[in-house]
Amino acid sequence: MNQAMQTIEGWYSLHDFRRMDWQKWRNASEQERSKALNEWKTLLNKWELTETNGQGSHCVYTVVGQKADFLFMILRPTIKEIHEAETAFSKTLLADYTLPAYSYLAVIEKSSFSDMPENPYEDPVLRSKLFPTIPKTEYICFYPMSKLRGEQANWFMLPIRDRKRLMFEHIETGRPYSDKIKRIITGSVGFDDYEWGVSLFSDDALQFKKLIYETRFDEVSAVYGVFGSFYIGQLLQKNRIEQFFHL
């Protein structure tokens, strides 16, 4: 039997993509729209307090292109709290003017491809990766991915030493971008349709293209990578909310 890679997990993660019903929003009264936005900002204030208290994190981005209009990414200690945050938004007046576009549920994951400290949950560097504050950079790139299980190439049938070697090469390709791009890697086996979700954060969106293009030539991506849709978003700060939703 082939050997599974050991993992340790941190906070759970939800990417919730919403599409605005702009016609319905346009038909609402100015008073109704103002009430909806104020209610949502109250919820965001509550999420900010959760983040300040170290019990999770969140971010809100508008989405470029036609796949969605905006997304919020939420990190929480448990799936129950993820569901509570999702439901809290669904109960807002603003949610009545949105349609679900896509969602992705996962948990922050660190595998033993690289060396692990003896007590990983007590290591401050590792804890910062398992329980992070989401970077509030100007841009986000999110995509789901899996490893191939084809007839000719099957990632899960490779010996563990080969998987470690290929992943180490992959990590080395991306290392020069570590100052320009921050990453949150989540595992989603059994939680969603793909096996991992990748969230990249940068103040320069072009760096996403450069990093992903270079890593395409790594064997682990060129032979074994299976990718879903890519979503690019721009940070929606609270002082820009009225501007984004203004008609």
Q: How many domains does the chain have?
A: 1
In a domain, 107, yes or no: yes
In a domain, 176, yes or no: yes
Which among 11, 21, 34, 22 has a CA at the least distance from the CA of 85? Answer: 11
What pLDDT, in 10s, does the model give residues 23-32?
999 999 999 9
Share of the chain above pLDDT 90, in %: 89
pLDDT at 244 over 90: yes
Give pLDDT, residue 120. 83
Of 79-88, 138-147, 164-173, the range with the lowest mean pLDDT is: 164-173
- What count of Cα atoms within 13 Å lies in the side-chain half-sphere of residue 135? 19
∠ Cα 99 102 104 (to 5°): 140
In a domain, 194, yes or no: yes
In a domain, 65, yes or no: yes
Return phi, psi of residue 184, to 5°: -130, 115
Amino acid identity at 1: M
In a domain, 1, yes or no: no
∠ Cα 12 13 17 (to 5°): 155
Give dist(CA 142, CA 232) in Å, integer. Answer: 7
Distances in Å between the alpha carbon of 118 and those of 5, 122, 129, 185, 189?
Answer: 17, 9, 16, 22, 25
Which among 109, 144, 125, 156 has a CA at the least distance from the CA of 7? Answer: 109
What pLDDT, in 10s, does the model give residues 86-134?
999 999 999 999 999 999 999 999 987 666 777 889 999 899 999 999 9
214, 220 Cβ separation under 8 angstroms: no
pLDDT band at 6 (very low <50, low <70, confident <90, very high): confident
Give dist(CA 169, CA 113) in Å, integer. Answer: 11
Active site residues: 143
Give dist(CA 41, CA 235) in Å, integer. Answer: 15
* Residue 107 lies in domain: 7-245
CATH at 86: 3.30.70.1030
In a domain, 2, yes or no: no
Q: What number is the average pLDDT over the span 67-79?
A: 98
Give dist(CA 225, CA 148) in Å, integer. Answer: 6
Give pLDDT, residue 114. 65
What pLDDT, in 10s, does the model give residues 206-218?
999 999 999 999 9
